[in-house]
Amino acid sequence: MVHKRLAFIRTFGCQMNERDTETIRGLLQQEGYGFTDHPEDADLILYNTCCVRENPERKVYGQVGQLQELKAKKPELIIGICGCMPQQQEELPILLERLPHVDLFFGTHNIHRLPELLHRIYATGERVVEILDDGGEPVEGLPALRNNDFKAFVTIMHGCNNFCSYCIVPYVRGRERSRTPEAILEEIRSLADRGVKEVTLLGQNVNSYGKDLKLDVDFADLLELINEVPGIRRIRFTTSHPKDISDKLIRQLGRLEKVCEHLHLPVQAGSNNVLKAMNRRYTREYYLEIVEKVRQEVPGISLTTDIMVGFPGESDADFADTLSLVEKAKFDSAFTFIYSPRKGTPATEMPDQVPEEVKKERIYQLIELQNKVSLELNQALVGTQVEVLVEGVSKSDSQMLTGKTRTAKTVVFPGNQGLIGELVKVKITEAQTWSVVGELI
Ligand code: SAH
Ligand code: SF4
Ligand code: F3S
């Protein structure tokens, strides 16, 4: 019997990258590969990488560095690095030099070329490096092997045009390219046919969906089309840029019954000086106005955000503005980050870089405040009834199930595993900072 080749894939970064990994798995499956969770059993080890901050990059150097031993024992093993790290012009030569045992490098624009690149390695035994500068039109019809039977990510657009001054994403993902509504709907219909109930639409800035197409369809229209797909029960999307959120979209959020009452709206900072230097192109006042409008149009909506501390030039007063915005906006939760300088972005060259200790002190304060707000908002839910999509068994207690409300809150409750993948009604009985506890009704 021929040995079935096994692949081990490790994914860093955002949901886009997770979705790309599903395509990679689909392509490898077509090539006859199986999958393993143990690198030592693998014939192919692939790292799908992220470079948005220094930390995930450092992990890749560390973990892939350690594979040198395995490769020495098993020379036929193929090790590959793909995704955003090798896509950075300045990082690629460093990767090539520091990780001499890596056989394959490809970027974000040529995932579909993976089978061909692997064949080239098998045929020549030589290192293969292929990075394309430009995305071109979205490639359709690629297979995907998804991990979950009832919820799915659907990429609706690639790239970003915004060039926030701290951010590497536009350099490694190219300009905005929207998939056509037909291609998106076809994917979602076939997911629904297979029993998927919840879709999360992905793009770096979904609010600018369609602007690059020669069609008269914007993101609000796309939501309306997806809302019609039978079988789909919940629609989520991420990420929205505050500068591009339209009144039309806010109305659709309130009107379309499948669109969940949750908006992830990264604010990044609460000070107008910092927002300007970040090239975010909105003010604190404008952001708070949107929050107000959204809450009026969609009562009970939950609001989450991304916030960064320690951007170059951020003074104590600027940081105090971030804290006061957090108090005013009342986010249900926030991803908080310490600014990390990225090669090739304008912010790296800005004067007045903030010292590490100051950044750390600020992020502690920010997290403490946000936790207080999150807990208060969760406490207000005690006694209410919510719809939960059951996602799995709780990691800490096998008698408990976990799932998400339409407002993207994690709910933990006693129940039987047969409910996984179902929509159930739960009464909230207890609040914690990052989740709530409940019981089935
Ligand atoms: N497109 C999305 C976010 C993509 S990156 C948006 O615009 O909201 C996810 C988050 O990482 C960002 O919202 C930002 O808060 C953070 N981030 C991006 N670049 C960073 C950097 N250089 N240092 C620290 N955090 C960063
Ligand atoms: Fe980065 Fe800004 Fe684009 Fe988001 S909108 S991916 S933060 S450049
Ligand atoms: Fe990271 Fe690339 Fe996503 S840099 S955040 S994996 S787009």
pLDDT digits (tens, 9 = 90+) for 164-196: 999 999 999 999 999 999 999 999 999 999 999
Is residue 263 scored above 80 in pLDDT? yes
Q: Which atom of ligand 2 is nearest to the CA of 241?
A: 5
Nearest by Cα to 229 from 263, 196, 262? 196
Q: Which atom of ligand 3 is nearest to the CA of 13?
A: 6
Is residue 3 scored above 90 in pLDDT? no
Mean pLDDT of 289-310: 97
The span from the CA of 79 to the CA of 77, in Å, is 6
How close is the Cα of 145 to the center of ligand 1, in Å? Answer: 27
How close is the Cα of 169 to the center of ligand 1, in Å? Answer: 8
User: Taking a C-beta distance cutoff of 8 angstroms, is the pair 322, 308 a contact?
Assistant: no
Q: What is the pLDDT of residue 135?
A: 84
In the DSSP assignment, the letter for residue 259 is B
Which protein residue has the closest C-alpha to ligand 2 atom 2? 164
Residue pointed to by tokens 């369609």: 210
Share of the chain above pLDDT 70, in %: 100
The span from the CA of 13 to the CA of 310, in Å, is 21
Give me 371's structure tokens.
């936790």
Q: What is the pLDDT of residue 191?
A: 98
Q: What is the pLDDT of residue 1?
A: 58
User: Strand, coil or helix: what is 168?
Assistant: coil
Share of the chain above pLDDT 90, in %: 97
Which protein residue has the closest C-alpha to ligand 1 atom 2? 204
For 147-160, write each residue's pLDDT tens digit.
Answer: 899 999 999 999 99
How close is the Cα of 83 to the center of ligand 3, in Å? Answer: 8
Mean pLDDT of 119-123: 97
User: Strand, coil or helix: what is 175?
Assistant: coil
State whether the Cα torsion 151-170-361-63 is positive or negative.
positive
State whether the Cα torsion 393-394-396-400 is positive or negative.
negative
Mean pLDDT of 97-116: 98
- Burial grade of 200 (CB within 10 A; 0-12, 13-18, 19 or more): middle
Q: Which atom of ligand 1 is nearest to the CA of 264?
A: 8
pTM given for the model: 0.97
For 347-401, write each residue's pLDDT tens digit.
Answer: 999 999 999 999 999 999 999 999 999 999 999 999 999 999 999 999 989 899 9
Nearest by Cα to 314 from 353, 283, 285, 281? 353
User: In the predicted model, what is the mean pLDDT of the chain?
Assistant: 97
Nearest by Cα to 262 from 409, 148, 152? 409
Q: Is the CB of 437 under 6 A from ligand 3?
A: no
Q: What is the pLDDT of residue 2?
A: 66
Q: Which atom of ligand 1 is nearest to the CA of 204?
A: 1
Q: What is the DSSP string of 401-438?
A: EEEEETT--EEEEE--GGGTT-EEEEEEEEE-SS-EEE
CA distances from 297 to 28, 208, 222, 234 (A): 45, 21, 19, 19
- Report which bound ligand comes closest to the CA of 354: 1
How close is the Cα of 174 to the center of ligand 3, in Å? Answer: 12
- Listed in sequence order, the DSSP H helices in 205-256 are 219-227, 247-255
CA distances from 154 to 47, 157, 160, 196 (A): 21, 9, 17, 12
How close is the Cα of 266 to the center of ligand 1, in Å? Answer: 8
How close is the Cα of 52 to the center of ligand 3, in Å? Answer: 6
How close is the Cα of 51 to the center of ligand 3, in Å? Answer: 6
Pair type for strands 385-393 and 400-405? antiparallel
Q: Is the CB of 169 under 6 A from ligand 3?
A: yes
Mean pLDDT of 137-147: 95
**381-403: b (≥16 Cβ within 10 Å) or e:** beeeebbbbbbebbeeeeeebbb
Give me 411's structure tokens.
């709910």
The span from the CA of 156 to the CA of 179, in Å, is 6
Q: Is the CB of 266 under 6 A from ligand 1?
A: yes
User: Strand, coil or helix: what is 192?
Assistant: helix
Is residue 121 scored above 80 in pLDDT? yes
How close is the Cα of 238 to the center of ligand 1, in Å? Answer: 13
- Burial grade of 341 (CB within 10 A; 0-12, 13-18, 19 or more): middle
Mean pLDDT of 297-310: 97
Mean pLDDT of 286-302: 97
For 234-258, write each residue's pLDDT tens digit.
Answer: 999 999 999 999 999 999 999 999 9
Q: Is the CB of 169 under 6 A from ligand 2?
A: yes
The span from the CA of 378 to the CA of 432, in Å, is 7
For 199-217, write each residue's pLDDT tens digit.
Answer: 999 999 999 999 999 889 9
- Report which bound ligand comes closest to the CA of 88: 3
Q: Is the CB of 173 under 6 A from ligand 3?
A: yes
Q: What is the pLDDT of residue 134?
A: 85
For 399-430, write each residue's pLDDT tens digit.
Answer: 999 999 999 999 999 999 999 999 999 999 99
318 Cβ contact partners less than 8 Å away, ≥ 6 residues apart: 269, 270, 271, 273, 274
CA–chain centroid gap for 117, Å, is 27
Q: Is the CB of 282 under 6 A from ligand 1?
A: no
- Which residue segments constitute the domains of the chain, with CATH numbers given? 6-130 (3.40.50.12160), 148-260 (3.30.750.210), 266-380 (3.30.750.200), 385-440 (2.40.50.140)
Q: What is the pLDDT of residue 332?
A: 98
User: Strand, coil or helix: what is 273?
Assistant: helix
Nearest by Cα to 354 from 311, 299, 384, 318? 311
For 26-56, write each residue's pLDDT tens digit.
Answer: 999 999 999 999 999 999 999 999 999 999 9
Q: What is the pLDDT of residue 13?
A: 97
